[in-house]
Amino acid sequence: MIEKIERSTRGPLLLGLAFAAGLAAALWVQASMRAVGATTYLPATTTLADLLLAGIYVCALLVLLRAPLRPALRFVFAPLGRMALTNYLTATLLVLAASHLLGLPIGQSSSAAFQAAGVILMAQWLFSALWLRRYRQGPMEWLWRWATWARRPTLRIPRAELIP
- Phi, psi angle pair for 48, to nearest 5°: -60, -45
pLDDT in tens, 1-32: 667 666 778 888 999 999 999 999 999 988 88
pLDDT in tens, 100-139: 877 878 878 888 788 888 999 999 999 999 999 999 999 9
Give the model's pLDDT for residue 36.
82
> What does pTM read for this prediction?
0.69
Beta strands in 10-151 (DSSP E): none
DSSP code at position 158: P
Give the model's pLDDT for residue 53.
94
Residue 19: Cβ within 10 Å count: 20
Sign of CA dihedral 5, 8, 11, 13: positive
CB of 162 closer than 8 Å to CB of 133: yes
